[in-house]
Amino acid sequence: MGTPVWMRWRPLAVALIACFLAACGTTSTGRPGDFPPLPSDAGDDRAAPPVAVTTKGPHKFKHSTPSGRPVSFDPCRPIHYVINTANMPDKGADMVREALDQISQASGFTFTDDGTTEEAVPTGERPPVQERYGDKWAPIMFAWADQAKVPALAGSGGLGVNYPISPSGPESERYTTGMVVLNFRYFADWQTRRNGYQVTRASVMHLTMLVLGLDDVGDRREVMGRSSTSDKLGPGDRQGLAMLGASPCYSDT
């Protein structure tokens, strides 16, 4: 399996990337037989129509293939997700769904809500395939914790991790699953403030977009901007998401 890459969001500022394991950003090049079978909802065509790139602004990608294609998820299948409700703040599930709705409209990715999960936030690597979810890539998990459970959350609004694989070499690289861990103490503090819902929803959007393949930029008008608290996608956010959503389909796992 690929090495998971953790990404961190500080309150009102995006921190440097911290790798969960020593080898940051490496990918698996195992044979397709090492991976789960092709899921039943994977198709030869996109799950939703592509989104045209109609805006231009600052955007960056976490990784690109040698040909320059941004590494992303497969747009020809739904991206499944689950929510662990332990320590979830008021309206936490609404934040997740609203964030995914905005991202879906801008990217052409579709998201399928697989409900809640009792999967605990791991203290080590999260297995990307788990018996609880069957013989398939685990859904993206949204969960809440604090630094007592996840020390890397100290002074941070949340962390994001994704799992890259490249079954047929560097040009086949794509993400298969991921996790967003949100600092419930940060959320509890912000939800007492006048614009707290918008700020915390911005954290959910930012971390989700990191998991999908975008990176931080310097423009505060973008959700991906450092020190940004905007929960409205900027032109660079939209351009980057549309480009991620233009990724190819895969039929190997």
Q: With a threshold of 0.85, does the pTM exceed it?
A: yes
pLDDT of residue 96: 97
pLDDT band at 33 (very low <50, low <70, confident <90, very high): low
Check: CB of residue 146 under 8 Å from CB of residue 183: yes
Residue 12, pLDDT > 50, answer: no
pLDDT of residue 143: 98
> DSSP label at 244?
H
Check: CB of residue 205 under 8 Å from CB of residue 223: yes
Residue 251, pLDDT > 60, answer: yes
Q: Are strands 111-116 and 79-83 parallel, antiparallel or unpaired?
A: parallel
79 DSSP β-pair partners: 111
Task: Give the angle subtended at the CA of 47 by the CAs of 2 and 79, to the nearest 5°.
Answer: 35
Residue 9, pLDDT > 50, answer: no
Segment 224-234 mean pLDDT? 89
pLDDT of residue 123: 83
How high is the mean pLDDT of the chain?
A: 87
Q: What is the pLDDT of residues 158-183, one digit of tens each?
A: 999 999 999 999 999 999 999 999 99
Residue 23, pLDDT > 80, answer: no
| Sign of the torsion angle spanned by Cα atoms 81, 127, 252, 136 | negative
Segment 145-159 mean pLDDT? 91
Q: CA-CA distance, 179 to 159, in Å (whole number)?
A: 8
Residue 25, pLDDT > 50, answer: no
pLDDT of residue 24: 28
Residue 30, pLDDT > 80, answer: no
The closest alpha carbon to 35, from 150, 144, 172, 189, belongs to 172
Segment 230-237 mean pLDDT? 95
Query: Tokens for 227?
Result: 């020190």
Q: What is the pLDDT of residues 77-135, one digit of tens each?
A: 999 999 999 999 999 999 999 999 999 999 999 999 999 999 999 988 899 999 999 99
pLDDT of residue 61: 98
Residue 169: CB atoms within 10 Å: 11
